[in-house]
Structure 1
Amino acid sequence: MFRNRPSGRILTAGALGAVVLLSGAGCTWEGLNSLPLPGAQGRGEGAYEITLEMPNVTTITRNSPVRVNDVNVGSITDMQVEDYTAIVTVSLNEDVRLPANAHAKIGQTSLLGSQHLEIFPPPDGEPEGSLSDGDVIPLARAGVYPTTEQTLSALSVVLTDGGLAQFETIASELNTALDGRQVDAKEVITQLETTVSGLDEQRADIIAAMDGLDRLSRQINDQTDTLARALAQMPEAVALINDQKQELTTAMVSLGDFGNKANQVIDAGGGQNLVDNLRDITPVLDSLANAGRDLTRALSVLITFPFPQAGIDNFLRGDYANLYIHADTTMPRLSETFLLGTEFGNRMAGLEGYVGLAPNPLAGANPFSLDIPRPEHSGEEPFAELPPEPGSGAPTEEAPR
């Protein structure tokens, strides 16, 4: 039989203690950082928790300090991953007051690699509100400062073949490109400056044009169904045009012939004469344009002649009015009115006018056939009497022999 030694008892007690610790930790073990460390900030009475959405947590762990203005005010209590985003829960002391729009970044505390979570007010804009228990700082206001490894890596790229070694080649190629072309290069730079200045002066117009393009895009987007129907009917329209291609070609050729004829007419009539005629007709057209309203009103009288429409509305109370016109269009009346004093004045009087037997009004009158009183003797030599015309019917006296 074996005897229990003191070392066996110690091992048994250690195993029991490990079992108790694993049971208290939820049967998981993720190192000492998975357990709450005594003395950490944000663990006291009145502490409150907030959640942060981080793009990357680098090497930060639970119980890492949370700083505000380089002062530890809390610690990280939990970290989870959801949809490729780190969800970090921090616990802050009761007296810590931060704006609701605060930002958060993970930074390196020392060159040895320790890291902390820094919370600070918004760099742009004024602080708003106040963070309270359960609030969330979104991913848009979270980030990570460059680490020492990233800084040294970038510096090594610059100091080796990544940058400095290329400056000599760049300078050499630039000198080769500009050798003998300094004037051209200066002119190019001057023109570039002029172009940039012109674009800057027209910035408002460019913005307005972009706004107009945006409005046009929205209108086109609103008319999507109409455009779809138009595009669906486009093949039929193209087929119709294709079927009438010969007619359209003939119409275009005829239009060209008409233009040639018009040019020939203009050339034959003299270009300057046409210009003068158009210039002379301009005042007439201006007068017609100025009298357009009055001319329209005057022409409207023709519809209700001889009564104007305005007068009918004022004195006529009914549906219609009767108008009787007695028109005397007999030949004697026409000869005494419309044709009086014209060549047809007497020829339209009676039947003689139809057969042309009426006397010619333009012929000289026969003074012997007219009843004209003889003028009284005034002591002067009387006028010699003219012999009567044969066939006039007047008595004739024989001269003494």
Structure 2
Amino acid sequence: MNRGIISLLIIFSSGALYALTPNQWQFRQAIEVPATGLAKVNLSAETINLARSDLSDLRIIDADEKEVPFLIDQPMPRAESTLRPKDFHAEIVSTETRLLITTGTDLIVAGIALETPAGTSFIKSVRVEGSNDQKNWQMLTAGDPVFSMDNGAAKLRVPFPEGKWQYLRVVVDDNRTPLLPWTGARLIIAGSPAPTEPVSVTIKSRDENPGMTRLGLDLGAANLRISSIRIETSEPVFTRAVTVAAPELSEEKLHEQTLSSAVLYRVDLNGKIEARLDIPIEKQVYGRELFLLIDNGDSPPLLISEVRAERRMARVLFFAPAPGSYSLLSGNSQCDPPRYDLSQLGDQLRRAAAAEGRLGLPASNPGYEAAANLPPGFATGAKIDVAPWKFRKPVQVVKAGAQQLELDPDVLARAMPDLRDLRVVSEN
């Protein structure tokens, strides 16, 4: 804290408590709606950056500055899940290992994850076939590599087109490498996607330390729900353990909170390049800064040319009684979250057809009054007995509103070291 600066706030305000008056919001954006009826507007990263982290200060008003109820929709993917099959059996036929699987489920299967004992290092090629009667088999995928390496890089998942199968047959090519003990498998049950949007990421800093590269990243906006981060590198072959962290202030100390970790790689498997360059995040980042920590071990630093990110979309749904211009308000630290009856119709509204509204860039609200966006009662304070104070110094205020007062040496010399004895009082 700078001991020479303190804020003096003198407020003159009126109006109903918690009533929506646009002058309480700092920012305003135009919404153009093409037709009467349900409208949807995608919120930009700039809007999310200016609003509260939970978007509870957003409001929509019409051309007459009347409040319009809305619903916030943040589509999230349904994550894939895994399921142990009903039966798993392995057999060796010539130079192949056949894994015969009875799924025991009517769920949609999108792949299979194979299992081997820990510490096994190998590279294999597999094909997967599906059947519902064990007589007629359909090829689902062929030539897919699976591998596990000593440095932690591994790929044991074999994706294939989504479908319902009573039986699966995984054929492992053992022609070039020794046989492996396959101990089991898990079915990958299909999830559902959700829309994302690219985020402009800037590499602000790069620090090289023995065995570790540290990249400082700027997301360009705060409060974004980041889906994934992807690195771009020209290195033809590599494996690296990578951690994504965000700065966090806790107990007045700044530390780094790990958001996600993964082993990234690009390898040549019998002439076929396999790569994993993205790190799943699926978390809201409350600041705009991230750190990328790359464990190089004894290898030279990895040349990173670009870092990309994807964020989950957020949008507002509202009923427009007429086509035309509406306004989105943001930047109010004191308002309560809105309570609209539209929340009871959330599922129906999300599935309904809606016209696409066009959102303009955020701009400062010309009618914004800082005094109107302060906690109730902030201006008046409580009565105080000034008799215990030995010194007082007059303050001249020329204009109502937020004030900044620089404490001169005379005040600092008489105040307590932590300034806890300072008070600002009104003569009225």
Q: Indicate the TM-score class for this superposition, using the shorter chain for normalisation.
A: under 0.3
Q: What TM-score does the superposition give when structure 2 sets the normalisation length?
A: 0.18
Q: Which has the larger radius of gyration?
A: 1
Q: More helix per residue: 1 or 2?
A: 1
Q: What TM-score does the superposition give when structure 1 sets the normalisation length?
A: 0.19
Q: More strand per residue: 1 or 2?
A: 2
